[in-house]
Amino acid sequence: MNGGGSFTVAVASGKGGTGKTTVAVNLARSMGTRVTLLDCDVEEPNCTLFLYGGIITTREVGIPVPEVDESLCDACGECSRFCAYKAIVSVGSAPLVFPGMCHGCGGCALVCPRGAISEKESRIGTVERSECGSVTLVTGRLDVGMAMAPPLVRAVKECSRAGEPCIIDCPPGTSCPMIAAIRGADMVLLVTEPTPFGLHDLGLAVNAVAEVGIPAGIVVNRTGPEGLDVGAFAKERGIPVLLEIPDDRRAAEAYSRGELLVDAIPGWKSLFELLRERTVAMAGGRMTREFRQGRDRRPE
Amino acid sequence: MREIVVVSGKGGTGKTSVSASLAVLAAPVVVVDCDVDAADTHMLLTPSPGRENAFLSGHMAVIDPGACTACGKCLELCRFDAVSGDTSGIYQIDPVGCEGCGVCARFCPSGAILMEERNCGVWMVSSARTGPLVHARLAPAAENSGRLVSLVRTEARRIASEKGLETVICDGPPGIGCPVIASVTGASMILAVTEPSLSALHDLERVLSLAAHFSVPSAVCINKHDINPDITERIESAMKERGVPVAGRIGYDPGFTRSLLTGMTVVETDSPTAAEIVRLWEELLSIGDSGDG
Ligand code: SF4
Ligand code: SF4
């Protein structure tokens, strides 16, 4: 049995540092088929530290920001009144553009009565592609100083390939970058740890995922005798716990050196194969109806 | 007024435990939890909760199905994939995808789209044993975490000057994007909490570049430094090269998690690492004094 078929699973967590990337890279390695791994944690992308292959392509990603032709502008201020983000400001003169605040909606160019605004791409980061055995790794890397992660997350997601399973390493948290990463996925794996912070933030993540309407499964990382009971919470919220990863110093050490757990620790390969089977089954259960609806909704 | 922002780049390095501990050492202080996505400081400082204020920010498009003629203009114009529609004529806006730009509403020929104000969460000023705690709860899947960060930070500074408190300690968000930028611009100092792993070092470099980009002085604290001495050494030499001081080293301590269960910070327990955090705080104070200006 392999992980065949085409589905998208997003690996997310409310709290950072719970082992999201660990789960994403080890699951990718355990798929048994060709798989695309999208590193959408564009603020701090780390998958390449665990799966290295030569970078095959690097592409710049930008968002369209306005450029004002001052010879056409009569300082009417319509663009600045329209912009919801105060990214273009006109005070009795040709407007100033603040590219860092612009969402690239295109509205100012559309409302300008004098056709004085055109759009030009303004770089926010890069998308790299590399091949590491059966895994195609696509990494989004936000330029330092750039605020807008979601457009780059969307650019990375455009690199998923039809007919091939896709795993997404999401940004931590519960706000726009994380939402941009999980949208359209067939299921979300929420990685947590059995600590008060972990459980608290898991609750927040569960609420965010419910808001988007995607089924979720839980992976508990670093379980041990002192850990809190994540199972009770999971049961209360009706979410299955798909895997428990034991707390093991060898795992922390392998991680710190940038090694895959499935390679570094004897016997852990089967742990992630179990996760693969459960994930495939869960994602597959949804593939028939809602999956297609999700896909059909996307334009182009 | 001195505003110290504790960040980490990578999550899970112990940022919140360290910042809450520093708050206890520096008390009375104003503490502000800028990690509004996953606000956890209140679990350590266990304040009596203050009144909740709504955080209304930005807008969200809503289609009036009665007025919609299914022309498809909104679908064509939206750049955020937020509009769904098909030949059956039912057009809808996905509130989770909508960024509130207003293009669809402006250009809908039937005027069928309204921009509604969006409730993005709540914020409150609570009173903790360390002094006022300004914190927030972002609504699930909400936008504008950067604006919420700016709001709680401004509030924290206002309270500090009103009460004559010298120090604001800010528990910052992970990453380097919009909420982090909102947390660090104009702060007196950034303390980056890291741990000895390749990922944490990579993320540390990025968050320090961000600090440099915004000209905020920074210092580093290596948590769990004894877990991998080789990488700790690499971090130390990378910091030397950058000219960023390593203000503290904290040993691996299960007490970090255990103290959480009792709602106490590490420095309030008899944990062996408490003294290391005290030393970190003293070091930060001396860096702050010598580096003024
Ligand atoms: S493109 Fe949209 S967000 Fe950017 S300046 Fe124009 S109106 Fe504002
Ligand atoms: S809307 Fe056009 S003409 Fe009016 S201020 Fe903006 S750029 Fe100038």
B127-158 per-position pLDDT tens digit: 999 999 999 998 887 776 788 999 999 999 99
Q: Which residues of B touch A153 (CB under 8 A)?
A: none
**Band of the pLDDT at A2, cuts 50, 70, 90?**
very low
**Band of the pLDDT at A256, cuts 50, 70, 90?**
confident
Average pLDDT over residues B13-27: 94
The atom number, within ligand 2, closest to the CA of A117 reads 7
Least confident of A240-254, B104-118, B132-146, B203-217: B132-146
B227 vs A35 pLDDT, higher one: A35
Least confident of A105-114, A278-287, B22-31, B200-209: A278-287
Radius of gyration of chain A (CA): 22
Average pLDDT over residues A116-128: 96
Average pLDDT over residues B262-272: 87
What are chain A's domains? 3-33+165-292 (3.40.50.300), 63-123 (3.30.70.20)
pLDDT at B261 over 80: no
Q: Which residues line ligand 2 (CB under 6 A)?
A: A 68, 73-79, 90, 94-95, 112, 114, 116-117
Strand B2-7 versus strand B131-138 pairing type: unpaired
Per-residue burial over B147-171, b if 16 or more Cβ lie within 10 Å, else e, is: bbbbbbbebbbebbeeeebebbbbb
pLDDT at A237 over 60: yes
CA nearest A243: which of A271, A262, A268, A285? A271
The whole-number pLDDT of residue A293 equals 35
- Mutate which of A63, A67, A85 for ligand 1? The one with the most ligand atoms within 8 Å of its CB, which is A85
Which residue's CA is minimally distant from atom 6 of ligand 2? A79
**CB pairs A-B closer than 8 Å:** 190
Centre of ligand 2 to C-alpha A116, Å, is: 6
**Band of the pLDDT at A277, cuts 50, 70, 90?**
very high
Q: Which residue of A has its CA nearest to B90?
A: A297
Centre of ligand 1 to C-alpha B54, Å, is: 27
Q: Which residue of B has its CA nearest to A180?
A: B97
- SS3 labels along chain A: CCCCCCCEEEEECCCCCCCHHHHHHHHHHCCCCCEEEEECCCCCCCHHHCCCCCEEEEEEEEEEEEEECCCCCCCCCHHHHHCCCCCEECCCCCCEECHHHCCCCCHHHHHCCCCCEEEEEEEEEEEEEEEECCEEEEEEEECCCCCCCHHHHHHHHCCCCCCCCEEEECCCCCCHHHHHHHCCCCEEEEEECCCHHHHHHHHHHHHHHHHHCCCEEEEEEEECCCCCCHHHHHHHHCCCEEEEEECCHHHHHHHHCCCCHHHHCCCHHHHHHHHHHHHHHHHHHHHHHHHHHHHHHCCC
Residue B15 Cα, gap to closest chain A Cα (Å): 11
Q: Which residue of B has its CA nearest to A194?
A: B257
d(CA B244, CA B219): 6
**Band of the pLDDT at B256, cuts 50, 70, 90?**
confident
Identify from A41, A43, A63, A103 which residue to disrupt to test chain B contact, counting B C-beta atoms within 10 A and taking the largest count: A43
Q: Which residue of B has its CA nearest to A259?
A: B198
pLDDT at B87 over 80: no
Average pLDDT, chain B: 91
The whole-number pLDDT of residue B32 equals 97
What are chain B's domains? 2-46+129-290 (3.40.50.300), 59-119 (3.30.70.20)
The whole-number pLDDT of residue B144 equals 66
d(CA B8, CA B155): 23
pTM above 0.90, yes or no: no
pLDDT at A183 over 70: yes
pLDDT at A296 over 60: no
The whole-number pLDDT of residue B5 equals 97
pLDDT digits (tens, 9 = 90+) for A142-160: 999 888 899 999 999 999 8
Cβ of A195 and B141 within 8 Å?
A: no
The whole-number pLDDT of residue A212 equals 92
Average pLDDT over residues B74-78: 95
pLDDT at A286 over 70: no
pLDDT at B264 over 90: no
Cβ of B257 and A195 within 8 Å?
A: yes
The whole-number pLDDT of residue A114 equals 96
Average pLDDT, chain A: 89
Looking at the partner chain, which of A154, A196, A208 has a beta carbon nearest the beta carbon of B140?
A: A208
pLDDT at B227 over 90: no
pLDDT digits (tens, 9 = 90+) for B97-123: 899 999 999 999 999 999 999 888 999
Residue A211 Cα, gap to closest chain B Cα (Å): 7
The whole-number pLDDT of residue B59 equals 93
pLDDT digits (tens, 9 = 90+) for B34-73: 999 888 999 999 999 999 999 998 899 999 999 999 999 9
The whole-number pLDDT of residue A35 equals 95
Looking at the partner chain, which of B102, B143, B179 has a beta carbon nearest the beta carbon of A107?
A: B102
The whole-number pLDDT of residue B291 equals 53
pLDDT at A287 over 90: no
The whole-number pLDDT of residue A5 equals 64
* Ligand that comes closest to the CA of residue A78: 2
A68 C-beta closer than 6 A to ligand 1: no
Q: Count CA atoms closer than 13 A to A97's CA, side-chain side.
A: 20
